[in-house]
Structures are given as structure tokens and as C-alpha cells.
Structure 1
């Protein structure tokens, strides 16, 4: 069966099977690279993942702060699915694995971390900081996804799991404070 660009293939290469090629700012001419690098934010100096997180938090605040939980979940699920599709094909076509310039995964991960967080600056900052902490530190299961799952799914999955950990911690903290 021919490989068509719109079909998700079940084969996900292991991390060791992917080369170590890198994106450059010249690649921004390609629309998929432009989106996957957060409109080029992934090429900013020093900690591109942090720039991607800030971009994601800003987009979330503009579009979804104060939105209903259903809208937040639908938007986040749509972003995660779209990011998974885009990163899968981009990484396969360009033989990439978690290139530092790819920040769409950070945008998706921070959207997961911000689910149901009230639009209050301290809480949003705490969710973003926790997300970056878990994304950098990579506790289990984030480390497992980073190490064992290859391709675009692996690029995205570790950030979604880091976002879920941040989501759990931020809401457990809110619950604990409310219980006092």
C-alpha cells in the first residue's frame, strides 16, 4: 500500500533508529517547520523549549483563559492530535528526533498543564514552571517516553506526560489550599 501523507502509520521507530539531523532557520520556508518551531521561536537562543512554553502559555491565555472546561479540553485535544500528526511526518521525512528547534511539543505540553487553571497569573506561572521542571528533569513516565518512544510521537509524548504531571501537581496544590 502506498504511503500517503494523511494516514497515520502504526510503525513508530525507536529512538536509536533515527538519525541526528538538525533543523536550521533556512528550513522555516517549509510550512510544517514553521508551525513545528512555533513560528521560529525554537530558533531563539538559550533554552528553545522555554521559548516554546512561553509561546504556548501566551496563546493559551489569549484564546482560552476563562473558557469553559469543555472548550479547553477540545482545544487541547485538537492541538495534541494535530501536533502528533505533524511531528510524526516531519520527523519521519527529515529523520529527526526531538530537535531543539521543535517546540510545538512544548506548546501542546503546556496546554495540558494549563487545563482548568484559572486565569490568574501566579497559578499560570506555577503551571508553566512545573511543566518545564518535569520536561527537563524527566521523572518516570516522562523519561520512559523520551527514551523508548521514537519518531514524532516520542517527541510529543514526553511533553504531554510532563504536562499531565504538572496538571496533577497544580490541581492537587489548589485542592490542598482550598481544604485548609
Structure 2
């Protein structure tokens, strides 16, 4: 992590938002921080996968709403739209991707790859959201859409694979 950014963090509140938005500082990865954040999402999903679907759905709603605020505060702190250090959006997107899938190597790997493809390509409306919606909501919402596309694709892949 950059010494300059450490000096800039003047309050515990800023430190908390930077820590959460960067996925525990995973977003400071010098190479492919979005991919690193997606991998963090996969790792965090494994214990969450044992929640009942209704509980996981409530968790998704709450973590999404919180991530809008966290990403928005991080954008304010960094002074940059969708700063590459912010990876909470990738984590949340992966959580949407993996909804209703067991944590097997096949599903974790395929879900990770599908999410990365949709997150990078940004098919409509993800690209539109990325360009037109500002603040933390825009940062996270395009990844939620990518996660939903990846989830649907993973269901289709699963149906064909069986």
C-alpha cells in the first residue's frame, strides 16, 4: 500500500471505508485489482454458501445497500470515479454470480471466469450504468448486473453440462 495514501488517511472513519472498499486492502494489488477483488469474493462466498437461500437473499440485499455507501465514501476519499482500489463492487458482483450454487471447484471457477467476462465487457445495461450513474450506486450496480448475467449463464452452463 502506498505510503502517501497511508498519510492521507486522517481519520478512523476514512480508514474503515478504505479498508472495506478495497476488500481489506486487496484492491491495492499492483496487478489486476479487479481480478484480485473477484477472487476475494469467491473465497468469502464459500462459507456464505451454506446459508439458506432466503438468508442469503437478505444478505445480498443488505451487503448491496452497504456497498453503495462504502463505495461512495471511498470515491469521495480518493477523489476519483470508480478508483481501481475500490473492489467491494467485484466482491458483491461475485456474491450475485454464485447465488444458489454449491461451492464446488467447477462452480467457483466457472462463476469467477463468467463474472470477470461480464464485468469487463459490461453488456447493457451494465455499461450504461457505469457511464451514467454516479457515486457508489453506479460503482456497484454495474457489477451487480454483471453478476446477474454471470449467474444466469452459470445456470445455463450447468444445465448443458449435466
Name the TM-score class by shorter chain: 0.7 to 0.9
Gaps (5+ residues) in structure 1? Answer: 1-23
* Deviations, residues 106-127 of structure 1 (Å, cap 9, x unaligned): 0000000010011211111101
Query: Conserved in 2, the CA contact under 8 Å of 1:96 and 1:151?
Result: no
Query: Conserved in 2, the CA contact under 8 Å of 1:87 and 1:156?
Result: yes
Q: Does 1:90 align with 2:74?
A: yes
Distance 1:37 1:90 in 2: 9
Q: How much does 1:172 deviate?
A: 2.0
State the match for 1:155 in structure 2: 139
Please give the secondary structure, in 2, of the residue aligned with 1:96: coil
Aligned length: 154
Greater Rg by CA? 1
**Correspondent of 2:112 among 125, 128, 141:** 128
State the match for 1:45 in structure 2: 30
Q: Does 1:31 align with 2:19?
A: no
Please give the TM-score of this superposition, normalised by the length of structure 1: 0.79
Distance 1:81 1:54 in 2: 21
State the match for 1:112 in structure 2: 96
Which structure shows the higher helix fraction?
Answer: 2
Q: How much does 1:93 deviate?
A: 5.3
Q: What's the RMSD between the two structures over aligned residues?
A: 1.7
